[in-house]
Amino acid sequence: MKTQALKLSGVAAAVAALFFGGYEAAQPIHSAHAETPPAVMAPTAPNVLAPAAGPAAMAVLPNFQSIVERCGPAVVNISVEGTVKTAMRGQSPFGNIDPNDPFYEFFRHFGPQMQAPQGGQITHGMGSGFIVSADGIILTNAHVVADASRVTVKLTDKREFSARVVGIDKATDVAVLRIDAHDLPTVALGDPAQTHVGEWVLAIGAPFGFENSVTAGIVSAKSRSLPDEGYVPFIQTDVAINPGNSGGPLLNLRGEVVGINSQIYSRSGGYQGLSFAIPINVAAQVKDQLLAHGKVTRGRLGVAVQDVDQALAESFGLEAAHGALVSRVDSDGPAAKAGLEAGDVIVRINGETVGSSAELPPKIAAVAPGRTVTLGVWRKGRDHDVTVTIGEMKAAQVASEDAGQPERASFGVAVRPLSRDEQRQAEVNGGLLVLDAAGPAARAGIQQGDVILAVNGRTVANAEDLRKLLGSGGRHAALLVQRNDARIFVPIELG
């Protein structure tokens, strides 16, 4: 059976197209910068179908007719045209994807709606969008209009307009369009925080080009973190979403938009029960910034984080497995200046609980650079607050290589110290290169080529340091490991 993977749910125009550098996402812009849509009819709850007579008729199902009648005219179909070069051998027409990657067939933009002749010139694509301001402001997905040379918007009354791309933000997959029109129908925006798992929601869009199709389902989960999508806490639903739905609205039972349909999880390229939408509050923040400044500014903390599982929680003395474990601190970043260290567990931000590492990036990213936040940090068995002045995103890179003589440490690894050049290149003090892994180390996932930097927060410079630190703990130990360009904590079961 083939491995499942994410796919963008709509069709890209033409060519479809760390947070280690620091949690960048849309900075809030106050409403004074946003174009305020005219008053719309107050959303009302849909009619409810009365259950049929008889003891077996238990379910009461919603009737979505009133929502579709009210909101449908504000949903638009988007056609795009662009140019693309024929992919060379070993190159992917869907982006920078390694053809040898086992997920090559799945990690790509949708393509069934696109038509590109051999040799590469003209391509056509299709997606969806919705009007948020009566003077022609439209929200859609960035991947729908990225690299398009022409964008056409079609309304439900059959009018067509040439659209201008005001701006796109690929990090959140949000784009803002403008058409030259007035007195347009609009949708009301809701609050995703008030949307709960199990609630009914519906989508309106153009799956496979079938304009203004309506599908419905429930919210399956909230705050989902997807690969390479660190700044969006996605809403997961079981609403049927297919190519062409991208950029269309996800609506609640009050007729309010709570999300923008963006991706699905599929083996086949079609809907298989897992759909993901960008929360509308995230999209609205991006829209406000693009309209006001033409770009999106994101806050930067300057750390890499990972989830805390039960073994790591025990290693750090936490009562429960929660928070974001700091695995790396950029030497020139805001976190380093505030005194954060690898091994700290961020459990709160401005008093709000951080349940997992996925929750931290969008929260930090939404803070305007230059503002301060108070982080609740668990360090060496104690809880204390750290005040950090948030910076602006910068790329961070860490590199390391190997050389030297191995030493055998007691828990199943052969290691050697990093040379001075290697330490300088990796921006570390000390560190042990893993030349071989077996026993408890291999079972924990330690691999050849990993660099062990610390044990339970204490740096290691040689195999003897490693043996002593592992021998002085309890049943578990947390190793800080650098693997390629990432740093992670690996829990070791010592028996």
Buried b / exposed e across 100-112, counting CB within 10 Å, b at 16+?
eeeeeebbbbbbe
Q: Give the Å distances, CA to CA, from 1 to 4, 100, 267, 270.
A: 9, 18, 9, 17
Nearest to 270 by CA among 146, 106, 144: 106
Cβ proximity of 282 and 298 under 8 Å: no
Q: Give the Å distances, CA to CA, from 147 to 80, 222, 275, 418, 439.
A: 9, 31, 25, 45, 51
The residue annotated as part of the active site, out of 147, 169, 173, 344, is 173
Measured torsion, CA atoms of residues 423, 426, 427, 433, in degrees rounded to the nearest 10:
-50
Q: Give the Å distances, CA to CA, from 63 to 275, 321, 458.
A: 22, 42, 60
Nearest to 428 by CA among 419, 439, 437: 419
Per-residue tokens: 310: 């039960």
CA angle 249, 251, 254 (to 5 degrees): 145
173 as an active site residue: the answer is yes
220 as an active site residue: the answer is no
Cβ proximity of 324 and 346 under 8 Å: yes
Please state, as a whole number, how many other Cβ atoms lie within 10 Å of the Cβ of residue 32: 8
The residue annotated as part of the active site, out of 109, 143, 322, 476, is 143
Measured torsion, CA atoms of residues 126, 131, 137, 139, in degrees rounded to the nearest 10:
-50
Say how far apart CA 204 and CA 192 lie, in whole Å. 18
223 as an active site residue: the answer is no
The residue annotated as part of the active site, out of 79, 213, 220, 246, is 246
Cβ proximity of 476 and 493 under 8 Å: yes
**Residues that are catalytic:** 143, 173, 246
